[in-house]
Amino acid sequence: MAQHPAERRSGYLDMSPGTRAMQDDDATNPGMLWVLDGEALWGRKAGAADKACADCHGAGMKGVAARYPRVSDDKLIDLEQRINLCRTGRQKAPALAYESRELLALTAYIGFQSRGLPIEVDETGKTKPFLEAGHAAYHRRQGQLNLACAQCHDERYGARLAGNPIPQGQATGYPIYRLEWQGLGSLQRRLRNCMIGVRAEPYAYGSPELVELELYLMWRARGMKLETPAVRP
């Protein structure tokens, strides 16, 4: 599979010194508000099974977020879907909605435990066809503007779009605190934003197409360090 950016750079490096400082200090990074919420949720019992995440998993989820999305029972799932599988299957609790405060808090808390670790998604065996589908989607032109992800993020990164630098789109810090959003958001939210931007109809939250794209993006950023919760402009 082709990988265009010769030197991969996190969007962090394209941010202003002020925004970088905001991310670097846990006392100023607003994403930490969600991480603390997630830590509280982790220990709280939920559902008919009256179990908390901590009852099965203890405290340690170090490295887990760096390995998602991954294949489970022949299905590709991202971290959000993994959390919901646990909720419905083990806790017997209703699934959490995408972009809900609770789901973002839990993903941020799990992601935070892998901060600084290299991203290493599987690329063999059962994962391979999903990765190839994600690769194809990334290079497929879509929307009224007829643009593929690769045209901006592989071929024109570093240039400007409406005054803002175009990043390589390395998904190293999700869920991110985006200043434009005034809140935390998932990678799928970001992907849907881009699709709306090229006037395409975005895939629904949790759709296989989005998860395949997530997988390709994580594979593309393999070896880069996870920054969760990152701050982006």
Partner 1 sequence: MARTIVRVPPKAKKGEIIEIKALVGHVMETGFRHSETGALIPRDIIRTFVCSYNGAEVFRADFHPATAANPLIEFSTIATESGMLEFRWAGDNGFTAEASAPITVE
Query: In the complex with partner 1, which residue's Cβ is closer, 30 or 143?
Result: 30
User: Does residue 159 touch partner 1 according to CB under 8 A?
Assistant: no
Q: How far apart are CA 11 and CA 167, in angstroms?
A: 6
- Of 169 and 183, the one with the shorter C-beta distance to partner 1 is 183
Distance CA 84, CA 211 (A): 14
Residue from 7, 63, 76, 71 nearest 226 by CA: 63
Q: Is 100 in the site for partner 1 (CB under 8 A)?
A: no
End-to-end CA distance of the chain: 30
CA 110 to CA 67: how far, in whole Å? 12
Any contact of residue 102 with partner 1 (CB under 8 A)?
A: no
Does position 182 interact with partner 1 (CB under 8 A)? The reply is: yes
Q: Does 36 bind partner 1 (CB under 8 A)?
A: yes
Count of residues that bind partner 1 according to CB under 8 A: 13
Does the annotation mark 194 as catalytic? yes
155 binds partner 1 (CB under 8 A): no
Closer CB to partner 1, 37 or 99, in the complex: 37
CA 28-82-191 angle, 5° bins: 60
Among 95, 117, 179, 200, binds partner 1 (CB under 8 A): 179
Using alpha carbons, select from 180, 212, 182 the residue that is nearest to residue 193.
180
Contact with partner 1 (CB under 8 A) among 3, 13, 24, 26:
26
Which sequence positions are flagged as catalytic? 194
